[in-house]
Chains A and B, each alone.
Chain A
Amino acid sequence: KNEVEQSPQNLTAQEGEFITINCSYSVGISALHWLQQHPGGGIVSLFMLSSGKKKHGRLIATINIQEKHSSLHITASHPRDSAVYICAFITGNTPLVFGKGTRLSVIA
């Protein structure tokens, strides 16, 4: 069964802290997505990656295909980063498989 595990489930950080959210999966994948779900429920795609590292502003995503592991990092965290961060993968032409998400709260 295709599985994706995220850790931690919940994370509280002080403004300015460096944050890491981890994602592990159990099968060979074609691509991995990092998504952000706002408190109102909307989902925004942050990254899609199949190897290496991507950076966008204060967000960095890395993936290690051999270890079946990906991380999302947030530098200089801010209260507006508070959201649920979801890892999802796709294998070949199968549908996206989603993790349960990591709930991040950044306190000023």
Chain B
Amino acid sequence: EPEVTQTPSHQVTQMGQEVILRCVPISNHLYFYWYRQILGQKVEFLVSFYNNEISEKSEIFDDQFSVERPDGSNFTLKIRSTKLEDSAMYFCASSKNGGAAEQFFGPGTRLTVL
């Protein structure tokens, strides 16, 4: 069964460093999402991406964040200069259709900023 994959599973970085989190969505899906979950809190939407551009972003997704689909398979989230408060679990998701369509989640990347 096709699934969303994410790498790495755990990333440890120093404050101020750049990190890139990678996702491979399901191959025939067209809509891609990033979410984050700070430890003990609920999952929060970061950004949605369709047709090679951001379709929506939350207040969390400031200038420090960017997304890219560098080739036909990868979808990346870059944090330019990490802060302690960026420590969280980051989930990628994809769906075949947008709107209310079912989303399929990756296993997550746990980011720890020291």
Q: Do A and B form a real pair?
A: yes
Q: Which residues of A does B touch, CB under 8 Å?
A: 30-31, 33, 35, 40-45, 48, 50, 86, 88, 90, 92-101
Closest-by-CB residue of B relative to A48 is B102
Q: Whole-angstrom distance from the CB of A74 to the nearest CB of chain B?
A: 20
- Report if A86-B100 is in contact (Cβ < 8 Å); known contacts: A35-B105, A42-B105: no
- Report if A45-B102 is in contact (Cβ < 8 Å); known contacts: A95-B45, A95-B48, A100-B42: yes
Interface positions, chain B 79-114, Cβ under 8 Å from A, are: 89, 91, 98-108, 110
Tally of contacts, chain A with chain B, CB under 8 A = 57
CB–CB A41/B100 < 8 A: no
Any A CB within 8 A of the CB of B58 = yes
Which residues on B sit within 8 Å (CB–CB) of A97?
45
CB–CB B104/A99 < 8 A: no
CB–CB A42/B45 < 8 A: no
CB–CB A95/B58 < 8 A: yes
Any A CB within 8 A of the CB of B44 = yes
Q: Whole-angstrom distance from the CB of B23 to the nearest CB of chain A?
A: 13
Q: What separation, in Å, do the CA atoms of A46 and B64 have in the docked complex?
A: 33
CB–CB B100/A43 < 8 A: no
